[in-house]
Amino acid sequence: MELDPDGESNDFQRTRRVCLRNGKAAVPGSGLHFHPKVSAIYNIDQKYVKLSAECFAKKTCLGTLQLGQWRVFDESKREDDAKKFHVELIHVENLRGIGACRNMRYLSLRGISRIDAIPDAIGKLSELIVLDLRACYNLQALTKEITKLRKLQYLDVSECYLLVEMPKGLGKISQLQVLKGFVVASSGRTNACRLSELVGLENLRKLSICIGKKVMNGRQDELKKLASLGNKLKSLIITWGVMTSKEGDTQTSNAEGMKFSLPPTLKKLDLRCFPCKEFGHLISSFSTQRLSDLENLEKLYVTGGALESLQPLWVGEDLKVKMLRLRFLENLQEDGWRKLSTKYAQLIITRQTMGSPEQFVTNKDESGN
């Protein structure tokens, strides 16, 4: 980064790496101009980023563009932090000029508001490796042009709650290693990407999926396809759509009817907003498996939801995981995790309730025995 004797420089023409800070304008034509061969732009704490019509023109050397959030928010303070570090694009329609940055490898719009669609021009970024759209709360659609990004290795659309489907063709992005926020679409969406299409992603290591309420009513066999997702998948996060109290019983019933088959290579399974009261409903939904059949599973996380009982984990199941994390399960019976710590002497259990620090429950002594 370019520095002057007093700290960071305000002369963006002297450096190929730019930090946007403290209200400094972000575009040519506003009094500040970038180096003609600028290679990286980082937004440190600028809340309102203005895009002009020519802001991406001739930026052929721009390889890194991080306009959105870079902070990792604590779960217990996420809402307050999101407001405090809010980022908004002015003239968001000018994102359509981004195709001119043909050598871009890293693009982050994380947490930026007012982006309701990703422009088709994204498909021109043939060198793109990382695309981070996490927590773009207004995002409603991903263009099909995104499937042309054949070098893409990391795609994050998690926490984009208005997104209802993924575009067909994601299975063609053969280099994809991390896919976060994949939306399992309802059966009525004929142009949506299905889990079966991801079978061809042989390099996929991490996957997180979101199951909407309408999916629970329809494609209840969709999750059987998870077992076929290659031999490199190590981490899987499953998030169920949030239920209102009025529809809770109906959605719980529908969730119990869904059938799962999980990849035997999994090392980490993370279940979020689990809609059933009994953990046994998940285990009974495995079409051909038991939880103990996942011999490589080391970490089992359960966060939020209606879960009350963990009984199958200490009755009938031979759990092989090394760490069990239980967070924000307000209805979980107290004796459940205590019985687990008794049965599995080497199991590390962490438990956290809303507004309280995480607790460690383990039978290991200080020497690890």
pLDDT of 79 = 63
Nearest to 259 by CA among 195, 336, 317: 195
Give residue 1's pLDDT.
45
- Of the candidate CATH numbers 3.80.10, 1.20.5, 1.20.272, 2.60.40, the domain formed by 168-361 belongs to 3.80.10
DSSP E strand stretches across 231-298: 235-240, 268-274
Q: Are strands 3-4 and 7-8 parallel, antiparallel or unpaired?
A: antiparallel
Is residue 239 a contact partner of residue 210, using CB atoms and an 8 Å limit? Answer: yes
d(CA 106, CA 329) in angstroms, rounded, equals 37
Give CA–CA dist 328/212, Å, rounded.
21
Q: What is the pLDDT of residues 215-267, one digit of tens each?
A: 655 555 778 888 888 789 999 999 988 544 444 454 554 556 677 788 889 99
Confidence of residue 27 (pLDDT cuts 50, 70, 90): very low
Burial class (CB in 10 A: 0-12, 13-18, 19+), 354: exposed
pLDDT in tens, 67-103: 998 877 666 555 665 666 788 988 999 999 999 999 9
Rounded distance between C-alpha atoms, residue 243 and residue 272, angstroms: 13
pLDDT at residue 278, rounded to an integer? 81
The rounded distance, in Å, linking the Cα atoms of 28 and 32 is: 6
**Can you read off the two tokens belonging to residue 200?**
């061809």
Query: 220: buried, middle or exposed (CB in 10 Å: 19+, 13-18, 0-12)?
Result: middle
